[in-house]
């Protein structure tokens, strides 16, 4: 079939070919060829007119109707005008003197704290062989999870999942502790529970080998890995840090629960509660090392957590924060809970054999009004 059609087309295409200028022809050739085409176009037009004009010939158009040529001219002028207008409008819309796109207002992370309750225990320290039971008792001692998380609230839990290490190496928060916190928050009726961190090593391996992903999921949390879509730029307005990319749950959540582990840290002395906020940041956060103490305080002031549940089940005494050798790990079987991060860090420093007054970010954090390093002055309950 198609061959027949094809063969029917042959003479026409040959005609067209013959009208093309031969290679090497100059513009006269083109002129000549277009001239040669003219009669056939004319013929087409007169045919068309014949249809439009209902048999009228010669002058061709009915009175009042634009001729086909006029319509075509109008259409072309219209299209050209539209493109020109569009180009000018787009150009004016995009113009910027400084080469930057338009500024946007950045969101701020809200204050996640709850109101103080007069007479309530401010710091609970629980020792015992069962880490999950320690968490339950300590949270109960400071008023129960219901004091911090209301029904339907969205809660983000921030363990330390920084390193590609196993739980017994104590470089990450104990997975049993994280799971128990998730269960308590779920029991308080939270509408959404995220567990997240920005790992230093490969995130998927840290989340897996720390045991936290599995434990948190089993307890009912949504685990958010720090992939490129997980970050939002926020206004930090700190002393050092002005803006930063943080994991979205910290922007969206109503409540934030910090679940740090206690470790030695080469540069800052120790990493515990306040230092754990490095883990909400994406981007080139290693630059913060140039003034680590002030940047820790900036981050702690940015997040303002609801509650901090400090995991000292196993602590890392040396080669922190990465560890690796079991010889550096000390079994402490301790959980400490408070709303005061500075007090908890001061308490944790003691576990590592350090003096809080020697640790820059603890001193600076107290100066910034984030809490007190005199943890013994707080209303404390110790269970064991």
Partner 1 sequence: MFLWIRRAYQAVFLLFFLFLIFATTSLYIRGYDVQWFLELDPLVALTTALSSHVLHHTLVWSLPLIVLTLVFGRFFCSWMCPMGVLHHVLGHLGRKRKVLERMKQNVPRPSHKIKYAILAVMLGLAAAGSVQIGLLDPIASTWRGLSVSLLPAASNTAYGLYQGERHFQWGTFITIVFFGALALNFVYPRFYCRVLCPLGAFLGLLSKFSLFRISKDLSRCNDCDVCGADCQGAADPQGTVRATECMVCLNCTKGCKRGGIAYRFLPALKLTKVETDLSRRKWITAGVAGVAAVPVMRASDGVDPRPNPARIRPPGALDEPDFLAKCLKCDACMKVCPTGGLQPALYEAGLEGFWSPILIPRIGYCEHSCTLCGQVCPTGAITHLKVADKVGDMPARPPVRIGSAFFDKGRCLPWGYGTECIVCEEVCPTSPKAIYFKLETITARDGKQKTLKFPYVDLDHCTGCGICETRCPVVDRAGVRVSAANESRSPKSSISLSGGKI
Q: Least CB distance from residue 33 to partner 1, whole Å? A: 30
Closest to partner 1 by CB, 118 or 286: 286
Closest to partner 1 by CB, 21 or 283: 283
Closest to partner 1 by CB, 318 or 363: 318
- Please, are residues 255 and 112 in contact by the beta-carbon 8 Å criterion? yes
Element (H, E) at 363: helix 360-367
Location of structure tokens 């954090």: 365
Closest to partner 1 by CB, 128 or 282: 282
Q: Least CB distance from residue 217 to partner 1, whole Å? A: 14
Give the span between the Cα atoms of 89 and 365, in whole angstroms. Answer: 52
Q: Least CB distance from residue 289 to partner 1, whole Å? A: 5
| CA proximity to 179, closest of 132, 144, 237, 147 | 132
- Distance of alpha carbon 126 from its chain centroid, rounded? 35
Q: Least CB distance from residue 219 to partner 1, whole Å? A: 21
Closest to partner 1 by CB, 256 or 349: 349
Q: How many CB atoms lie within 10 A of CB 7?
A: 9
Q: Least CB distance from residue 59 to partner 1, whole Å? A: 48
DSSP string, 287-305: GGGGGHHHHHHHHHHHH--
Residues making contact with partner 1 (CB under 8 A)? 163-165, 200-202, 204-205, 209, 227-229, 265-267, 284, 286-287, 289-292, 318-319, 321-325, 327-328
Closest to partner 1 by CB, 49 or 209: 209
Q: Least CB distance from residue 202 to partner 1, whole Å? A: 4
Closest to partner 1 by CB, 114 or 317: 317
DSSP string, 186-245: HHTT-SEEEEE---SS-HHHHHHHTSHHHHHHHHTPEEE---GGGEEEEE---SS--EEE
DSSP string, 94-139: H--TTS-PPP-PPPBPPP------TT--SEEEEE-S-HHHHHHHHH
Q: Least CB distance from residue 260 to partner 1, whole Å? A: 16
């Amino acid at each position: 079939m198609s061959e027949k059609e094809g063969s029917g087309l042959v003479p026409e295409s040959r005609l067209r070919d013959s009208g093309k200028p031969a290679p090497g022809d100059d513009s006269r050739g083109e002129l000549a060829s277009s001239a040669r085409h003219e009669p056939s176009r004319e013929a087409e037009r007169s045919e068309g007119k014949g249809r439009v004009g209902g048999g009228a010939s010669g002058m061709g158009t009915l009175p009042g109707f634009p001729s086909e040529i006029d319509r075509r001219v109008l259409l072309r002028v219209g299209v050209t005008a539209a493109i020109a207008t569009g180009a000018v409008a787009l150009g004016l819309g995009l113009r910027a003197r400084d080469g930057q796109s338009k500024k946007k207002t950045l969101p701020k992370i809200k204050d996640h704290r709850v109101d103080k309750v007069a007479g309530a225990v401010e710091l609970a320290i629980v020792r015992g062989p069962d880490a999950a039971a320690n968490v339950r008792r300590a949270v109960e001692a400071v008023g129960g999870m219901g004091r911090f998380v209301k029904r339907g609230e969205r809660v983000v839990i921030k363990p330390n999942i920084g390193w590609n290490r196993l739980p017994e190496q104590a470089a990450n928060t104990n997975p049993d502790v994280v799971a128990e916190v998730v269960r308590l928050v779920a029991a308080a009726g939270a509408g959404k529970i995220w567990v997240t961190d920005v790992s230093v090593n490969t995130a998927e391996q840290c989340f897996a080998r720390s045991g936290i992903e599995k434990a948190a999921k089993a307890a009912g949390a949504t685990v958010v890995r720090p992939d490129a879509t997980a970050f939002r730029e926020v206004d930090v307005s700190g002393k050092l840090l002005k803006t930063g990319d943080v994991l979205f749950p910290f922007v969206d959540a109503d409540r934030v629960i910090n679940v740090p582990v206690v470790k030695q840290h080469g540069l800052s002395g120790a990493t515990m509660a306040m230092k754990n906020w490095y883990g909400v940041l994406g981007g080139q956060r290693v630059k913060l090392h140039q003034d680590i103490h002030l940047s820790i305080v900036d981050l702690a002031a940015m997040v303002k957590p609801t509650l901090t549940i400090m995991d000292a089940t196993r602590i890392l005494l040396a080669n922190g924060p990465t560890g690796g050798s079991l010889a550096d790990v000390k079994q402490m079987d301790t959980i400490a809970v408070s709303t005061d991060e500075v007090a908890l860090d001061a308490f944790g420093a003691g576990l590592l054999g350090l003096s809080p007054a020697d640790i820059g970010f603890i001193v600076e954090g107290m100066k910034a009004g984030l809490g007190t390093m005199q943890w013994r002055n707080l209303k404390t309950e110790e269970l064991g």
